[in-house]
Amino acid sequence: MKLLVLSFYFPPDLSAGSFRISSIVSALAELGIEIEVISTLPNRYASFTAEAPAVENFGSITVRRVALPPHDSGMMDQARAFSAYYREVKKHTSKIKYDAVFSTSSRLFTAFLGAQIARRKSIPLYLDIRDIFVDTLKDLLPPKLTWVTLPFLKLLERYTFQTAKRINLVSPGFENYFKARYPQIDYRWFTNGIDDEFINVPMLNDDEFKNAGRIRVLYAGNIGEGQGLHTIIPNLARRLSDVADFYIIGAGGKHQELESQCKYLQNVALLPPVKRLDLIDAYVKADVLFLHLNDYEAFKKVLPSKIFEYAALGKPILAGVSGYAEYFLKENVSNCQVFEPSNDEQAADGFHKLEFKTSERSEFVENFARQKIMKEMANDIMDFVRGNDNHV
């Protein structure tokens, strides 16, 4: 039994999709499936590089990484990068026999590529959907560009999702969108989870929390339009200038704008992306972990993967989110203050309501351990492949 796995990101690249697919593939390998992963050489951030071989073998797993042209976070650059990936995947898979395709995707196109291969080879397709691309672009693109591109993207979406026999949605907030449009699909709900690295991390004692009398607020992740840090960090840093220092680790399309807005703020430091071990060290040294999504309708459906690693560490959390993410945090995570996205006044009020101590969240860790969730998902994928062994 041979499974083709498509993921634009794969370790050692730094992204939520990379960490997720690595866990899924490891869990599948334990079930005895022969797996070929086709991904890309590390490319998530132009400012972060990591060496990785073009072809790598781990027992029953073969990982192939496609080299991409140099690119940054702009839309045209990303389109060129995906085009290179698309061509190489189609070329490589053209004469190889697979029993099924598994594709994980946030930006629709990796899912679309999986659908094309599944149709061409008449094999079943299982999709893992981490975002609603069409819905998100509707909020992010200028109206004129939306008017031109949206009909085409909707066609791609319909083609892709109608090809899949089973779709996993990482956020329950996606349910209404998908079931209204594609009611015939067999859906699953395997969310993101907590990687082992973030479980049982030794923390500082509570009396060591305040760094030299000031509170250290940390954000780690992408710095783009979706996160909207440029709409909140400058004003919030000014409001809390007497008590807090902000450390922003990451890169992305809005990094330069954020850097410009924070140019004269002494309590904001922008740092480049780091490897996971260094990131955990930064988490340990932080007093408060910060999360933010821009104030767009599409983001009311998402459940950011960052929530899981933040919550596992027991640190106070200050989150500017709404919709399903707000509901999830309030229901599942203690010592967490949620404020309206981009509302610096509410954010400052929430900051002062936090308890600056480590919280006990063992139940959360038990319920959302990535290893547990991915093992369940791997079994579901195995059942799916076996149940469709006559192909489509």
Model pLDDT for residues 286-323, shown as the tens digit of each residue: 999 999 999 999 999 999 999 999 999 999 999 999 99
In this predicted structure, what is the pLDDT of residue 259?
97
Q: What is the pLDDT of residues 224-281, one digit of tens each?
A: 999 999 999 999 999 999 999 999 999 998 999 999 999 999 999 999 999 888 999 9
Model pLDDT for residues 324-354, shown as the tens digit of each residue: 999 999 999 999 999 999 999 999 999 999 9
Share of the chain above pLDDT 90, in %: 77
pLDDT of 150 reads: 87
Show the tokens assigned to 173. 């907030």
- Residue position matching structure tokens 């989870």: 193
Measured CA distances, 139 to 185, 297, 390 (Å): 26, 7, 41
Q: How far apart are CA 62 and CA 87, in angstroms?
A: 19
Q: Locate 266 and state its tokens.
A: 């002494």
Name 199's Cβ contacts closer than 8 Å, sequence gap at least 6. Answer: 312, 365, 369
Closest alpha carbon to 168 in 390, 380, 19, 26: 380
391: left (phi over 0), alpha (psi -120 to 50) or beta: left
Residue 49 pLDDT > 50, yes or no?
Answer: yes
Residue for token digits 């076996």?
386
Each residue of 375-387: pLDDT tens digit?
999 999 999 998 8
Residue 77: pLDDT band (50, 70, 90) is confident
Rg of the chain's alpha carbons, rounded to an integer? 21
The token duo for 59 is 């027992």
What is the share, in percent, of the chain residues with pLDDT greater than 70? 93
Sign of the Cα torsion 295, 296, 301, 303 reads negative
Sheet strands (E) in the chain:
2-6, 34-40, 55-58, 61-66, 100-105, 125-129, 166-169, 186-188, 215-220, 244-249, 268-271, 288-292, 317-320, 336-339
Locate 103 and state its tokens: 């594709």
Helix axes 133-140, 143-163, angle to 10 degrees: 180
Dihedral sign for Cα atoms in the order 11, 14, 19, 20: negative
> What is the pLDDT, as a whole number, of residue 47?
47
pLDDT at 145 over 70: yes
The whole-number pLDDT of residue 201 equals 86
* DSSP element (H, E) containing 329: helix 324-332
* 35 within 8 A of 101, measured Cβ to Cβ: no
Give whole-number Cα distances, 318 to 194, 315, 327, 351, in Å: 19, 10, 14, 7
Q: Peptide bond preceding 12: is omega within 30 degrees of 0, i.e. cis?
A: yes
Q: How confident is the model at residue 141 (pLDDT cuts 50, 70, 90)?
A: confident
